[in-house]
Every structure is written in C-alpha cells, then in structure tokens.
Chains A and B, each alone.
Chain A
Amino acid sequence: MLRTYMRFITLAALASVWSSMALAHFPFVECHQSTVDIVCQGGFSDGSGVAGVTIDLISYDEEIIASKAFDEQSNVHFKPYNGEFYILMDAGPGHTIEVEWHEIK
C-alpha cells in the first residue's frame, strides 16, 4: 500500500516537472569555423535534438546560398562563403534563430 502511494507521489512530482519542461521549448544554434567548413549544432532548450530541421545559409541580399537539414546528431556543415551572410535555423513560424557571419569564430 505504502509502495503504491510512494509511486503515485513520485509520478505526480515527475509529471509536474515534465509539464514545465514541455512549456519551455526554445531553439538555439551555435556555429563555429572548423578547419574547412562552418559547423553548426542546434537544439531546443529542453534538451531535445533538431534532426531534420531546416538550416539555410543566406547572403545579405537575401539569396539562399545553401539549404540543408540537421543530421541525427543535430549537426550540419556548410562550405565557406566569401561575403556577408547569416545562417538561419528554421524550426517553423516563430521558431527561427539567426547567426551572423561575424559571430562565427
């Protein structure tokens, strides 16, 4: 009886924690310059990955230079681009994040 009660309490506590985690769900992306490529890693603030999510390299005159999707490890590689650009992770309307070329080290 006590064990069942304790299980119920534990489940209720976990459900309350998980429910708040489900609410907070913001995308993020970090890019850096590797020896050859620009490598970006994305994710959501709740710890979930972004496999299959679209990520574009766009020049400042709004031309899409490369359009890719994150791999299973939530990584993506872009060939270097000469010129001013930004990288846009697009997980749906209102769920986008930009990284400017000068922020990529």
Chain B
Amino acid sequence: MSSNSATKKSHSRWFRWRFHLTGLLILIPFSLIPFYIELMSVFGGANGLGERTIGEKQVGPWRITLAEQFERGPKLDGPAGYMKTFNAALCQQCAEQVKAVYMRLGKPRSLRTAGVIGFGSPYHMSFSMPVPENTSVDADVWLTLEGWDGSLHQVQWPLRQASPATIEFLQQQQEL
C-alpha cells in the first residue's frame, strides 16, 4: 500500500516537472534569433543590397547597381522551374524617372518579353528570374529600364560575372 503511494507521488512530481520543463522550449526561438536577424537584414537591405554586390552600370541617363541576394545557385520553385534572386538599386536622381525595371537571361525581343519585373523600393528592388537548366554558361543577364516618358534603355552583365554560383549550378545540371 505504502509503495503504491510512493509511486503515485513520484509520478505526480514527474508530471508537475514535465509541465515546467516545457518552458525550456522558449529557448529554441531565442537560439535562432541571430540567424533570423541576419536573414531579415539581407531582405530589408540593412546589410547592403545583397550578399554579393555585382557592380554598377550606366543605363542611358540612369545608373543601376546589381547584387545577388544570396551567393548560391537557383532554387527550384515547383513547375515554374529554377529561380535565381537578384536585387537592384537605382541612383537617387533617377528613382523617380524610372517606371519599371525588367530582367531576363538573353536579349529581349520586345518590351512584352523583357522578363521579370523588379518589385519593392527603387533603392532595393528584387527580381526572381527563371533559369532554364539548358541555359548557356555564356548567357548574359539583360536589364531593361522603362522610363515614365516611354523611353527604354538596356544594359547587360555576363552571367559568369553576375552569378558564379549559377554558372556552377548550370555546369552540374548539364553534366548529368
């Protein structure tokens, strides 16, 4: 009888402490906070335009700076295929003159085929560009800038220069 009572007592102590131990779960998000803050600083621009700045170029009367959001290859997005994210910033003087910025691999045929549109602030636009697996490693990234006055200006970066990680990814895909 007394041993039964002792077992019950130890059980109730364990159940009570098990409840209190769940409080330790709060430490899990705390341990992840530094990673979260670093990630948010990349998305928000507090740590610069992206993980790797590619460079700045003159596009007609405007200047644009391009960066890789993360220094890694494209990411698979279901049936839409592989997508690579770049960020861009317009110069302070030209931000109000540019209506839209488009990005694609290869020279666009027309404004309709100019590629994905940059969204976000003119000082931190984001582009998720499709990268077909059969893309040539000698391809260029083309940017088309459309002004509010209807003017169009284009500039290109060799993909090798824009994203060495994407070149490495393409070489791996094409070897398979």
Chain A residues engaging chain B, CB cutoff 8 angstroms: 24, 26-28, 30, 43-45, 62, 86, 88, 90, 93-98
Please determine whether B100 and A28 come into contact, CB atoms closer than 8 angstroms.
no
Contact status B80-A94, CB under 8 Å: no
Residues in A with CB closer than 8 Å to B55 are none
Out of A27, A44, A90, A93, which one reaches B117, CB within 8 Å? A93
The CA of A26 and the CA of B83, in the complex, are separated in Å by 9
A95: chain B residues at CB < 8 Å are: 116-117
Report the interface size class on chain B. Answer: 10 to 19
Residue pairs across A and B with Cβ atoms less than 8 A apart, 29 shown, are A24-B77, A26-B77, A26-B83, A26-B128, A26-B130, A27-B80, A28-B80, A28-B81, A30-B79, A43-B79, A45-B79, A45-B80, A62-B109, A86-B109, A88-B112, A88-B113, A90-B112, A93-B100, A93-B117, A94-B100, A94-B102, A94-B114, A94-B115, A94-B116, A94-B118, A95-B116, A95-B117, A96-B112, A96-B113
Asked if B150 lies at the interface with its beta carbon under 8 angstroms from chain A, I say no
- B172 on the interface (CB 8 Å rule)? no
What are the residues of chain A within 8 A of B116 when measuring CB–CB? 94-95
A93-B100, A94-B100 known; A45 and B78 CB under 8 Å? yes
Q: Which residues of B contact A (CB under 8 A)?
A: 77-81, 83, 100, 102, 109-110, 112-118, 128, 130
By a CB distance below 8 angstroms, the chain B residues around A88 are 112-113
A27-B80, A45-B78 known; A94-B112 Cβ under 8 A: no
In the complex, which residue of chain A has the Cβ closest to the Cβ of B100? A93
Q: How far is the CA of A45 from the CA of B77 in the complex (A)?
A: 7
* Cα A62 to Cα B109 with chains together (Å): 8
In angstroms, how far is the closest chain A Cβ from the Cβ of B156?
Answer: 18
